[in-house]
Amino acid sequence: MDTVTLSKKLSVKKSYDVIVCGGGVAGVAAAVTVANRGNSVLLIEKSNILGGLATLGLVNLFVPMCNGNGKQIIFGLCEKWARLSAKYGYDTIPKEWKNGEPSEPTNVRYIQRYSPYIFALQLTEEITSSGADILFDCLACDPIMEGSICKGVITESKSGTELYACKTLIDVTGDCDVLRRGGIPTVAGENFYSYFGKMIDLASCKLAVEKGDIRYAFTGVSGGNINLYGDNQPQDIPKWSGLTVEEVTDYLVRNQHAMLENIKKDDRLSRDIAMLPLMPNFRTTCRIDGDYTLRVSDAYRHFDDSVCAINDFDHRFHLFEVPLRTLCRRDCPNIVTAGRSASGAGYGWDVLRVIPPAILTGQAAAHAACQSIEEKTAIACVDIKTLQRSLEKDNVMIHFPDEYVPEDRTVIIHGKNAVDIDGGHN
Ligand SMILES: Cc1cc2nc3c(=O)[nH]c(=O)nc-3n(C[C@H](O)[C@H](O)[C@H](O)COP(=O)(O)OP(=O)(O)OC[C@H]3O[C@@H](n4cnc5c(N)ncnc54)[C@H](O)[C@@H]3O)c2cc1C
């Protein structure tokens, strides 16, 4: 057999104002926001829990949500969820931030390391209480495109192949799976080794008992785990884009081999692996080629179409604004993205993709999608002041205050000047 032709007539199972493909933090934020506005929304998630990398991937840290002086930048649903995660799971919010922004300047940053699985259960509660519909264990496959307009999405699940119709679609699969299949321009990234699980061992269990705090029971175990900047990636191992089944498999096989080698050294009776990442831990697989691409050289720059202010997690004083144009394209009227598939380049993408900004861009994509239905216009063309007002009502900071900008505005990333890294902006 060389080829087969597949053809099947599908009827629309249900129609929604908005379909959200992918239930990572960006997707859950988007679906909750749409539902809160009173629009109908379906969230489609291919795994069995919500949260994506932030739960399934065991990336259980809200990176700093403030600048380096104790001024909070990230609010909105991210602030709500960071606090929520501390309510029934571990609470690692620094004492300076326990009651909100400290009254005195501090160099202690506002972070929260949480229990990934308890947070996942809380996200399910957030979704169901918002009134959004959800499908678990369901793959969003091809979008139905009429020209550049998306009319719906085909799903694969236990129920077989089905069709859901929508007025707007938010692709937050993290990998732009739906955008790519719809022929919308995207840009591939590259990934280093990045695979880690949670271990327990006799010493960590003893420490947890002594401290009366279960989080000390977990330690880390890594496969090939290279730092954020890719230092020490073995020269002979190609970087993975993560966009073909062969690459995903190669990444998982190599990382799992490396993890097994690491644990072979331990006494087998003294430890066990408690959690493994249940999705590939790729950071930057694929992003929309948006109408604007955020770069590190955009640090401290105000944008008229900003949908949120964000801070750099690794460099204390850098501040950015995220233009709506990073989430959409004018020639793609009713599809928008958010989270780690927003349009950023190099370290600009890194700043944009972590959990706090992913939640905020999820909120922004949701408001923009609903507003475009009301205004009968393309998502890229919605009235920006109205959008910003909706986000401000949701407690999102749109523009960072100028008094937070340091006198020395030089942007150095991992020892390099921003202009040398991305050639400045054009
Ligand atoms: C190694 C590593 C370390 C990191 N460390 C941190 C950190 O310490 N702190 C931090 O804030 N951020 C960190 N990040 C980044 C952060 O975790 C992610 O960028 C962020 O969680 C992305 O959220 P998202 O919703 O955009 O995408 P994802 O979390 O990737 O969610 C996408 C969701 O879509 C689902 N999906 C995919 N395809 C389909 C489909 N076709 N149909 C249906 N569902 C689909 C997936 O199952 C998943 O649930 C790290 C990332 C990595 C890889």
- Give the residue among 406, 192, 109, 425 at the shortest CA–CA distance from 296: 425
- Tell me the best of 173, 198, 284 to mutate to test the pocket of ligand 1, counting ligand atoms within 8 Å of each CB and taking the most: 173
Is 390 within the bounds of a domain? no
Do the beta carbons of residue 21 and residue 166 sit within 8 Å?
no
- Give the residue among 368, 393, 397 at the shortest CA–CA distance from 383: 368
Structure tokens at 371: 């507003």
Is 105 within the bounds of a domain? no
Structure tokens at 275: 């959690």
The beta strand positions in 114-257, using DSSP E, are 133-135, 139-146, 149-157, 160-171, 186-188, 194-201, 218-225
> Which residues in the chain show pLDDT less than 50?
424-426
What is the C-alpha R_g of the chain?
21
CA angle 130, 134, 136 (to 5 degrees): 140
Name the residue with the closest Cα to ligand 1, atom 30. Answer: 174
Is 258 within the bounds of a domain? yes
Q: What pLDDT does 426 receive?
A: 36
In angstroms, rounded to a whole number, what is the distance separating the alpha carbons of residues 54 and 32? Answer: 17
Structural domain containing residue 220: 194-275
Q: What pLDDT does 425 receive?
A: 47
Q: What pLDDT does 422 receive?
A: 66
Position in ligand 1 atom list of the atom nearest CA 191: 53
Tokens 């229990």 identify what position? 115
Do the beta carbons of residue 271 and residue 364 sit within 8 Å?
no
For residue 150, the SS3 value is: strand
Give phi and psi for 397, each to the nearest 5: -80, 125
- If you measure from the C-alpha of residue 68 to the centroid of ligand 1, how many angstroms do you get, rounded to a whole number? 25
Count of domains in the chain? 1
User: For helices 25-37 and 76-88, what crossing angle results, to 10°?
Assistant: 110
Position in ligand 1 atom list of the atom nearest CA 56: 49
Is 131 within the bounds of a domain? no
Is 423 within the bounds of a domain? no
pLDDT digits (tens, 9 = 90+) for 82-134: 999 999 999 999 999 999 999 999 999 999 999 999 999 999 999 999 999 99
Structure tokens at 146: 């009429």
Position in ligand 1 atom list of the atom nearest CA 177: 41
Is 178 within the bounds of a domain? no
CA angle 69, 314, 401 (to 5 degrees): 40
Is 74 within the bounds of a domain? no
Is 215 within the bounds of a domain? yes
